[in-house]
Amino acid sequence: MAKPSADQGIIGIYSYLDTFCHAIEKVRDRKDFIGYESFSPTSYHEIEHASGFGASPVRYFTLTGALTGVCVGFGLAILCDWDWPIVVGGKTPGIYSLPAYVVLGFECMILLGVIGTILGMLVMGRIPNPKRAVLDVRTTDDRFAIFLPGAQVDSPQAQFLRECGAEEVRST
């Protein structure tokens, strides 16, 4: 017997965020819903809380980028000052002119922190993923969905999704 693909199963479509979050809270603790996926048109904190996720690991990408930016900004300013010293107010070039380097360090921190955040979101969200098919086009517009691989339309899982407020449950 052939193994079912990852895109075969049932999908429950929801219209409202509150109903969807309530369904996720019920689904996440059930043993017969292991491996489910949820889809939404955009990210919502309510979905994260309903799914029981902790803090996002993207913050470590942001922190790494920001700290790297501070080091690069201050290092760039110090190296430029040692190579082309500009004596202002009798200060010697180098580390003694540290307050002037704060602006460049701050700007590089912001720049590399943002780049780190974007890379973190792409890596942790596995985006782009050309192998993953869109299971229902409406989830890219205004609907929410719960997908359960390997289940059938006449299964107890499908009935449970209907009881949780799904406006449509169909096989994929």
Helices (H), 1-56: 17-27, 45-51
DSSP letters, 66-117, are: HHHHHHHHHHHHHHHHHHS----TTPPSSGGGGGGGHHHHHHHHHHHHHHHH
Which domains does the chain show, CATH number per domain?
A: 9-41+142-171 (3.30.70), 58-124 (no CATH)
Q: What is the pLDDT of residues 3-45, one digit of tens each?
A: 445 678 999 999 999 999 999 999 998 999 988 999 999 989 8
Q: What pLDDT was estimated at residue 5?
A: 59
Indicate the pTM of the whole model: 0.70
Give every strand in the sheet of 168-171, ordered side by side.
37-39, 144-149, 9-14, 168-171
Q: Which residues, listed in sequence order, are joined to residue 114 by a DSSP beta bridge?
A: none
Per cent of the chain over pLDDT 70 is 96
- In 48-155 the beta strands, taken as DSSP E runs, fall at 144-149
Q: Which residue has the higher pLDDT, 48 or 107?
A: 107
Query: What is the Cα–Cα distance from 156 to 110, expressed in whole angstroms?
Result: 51
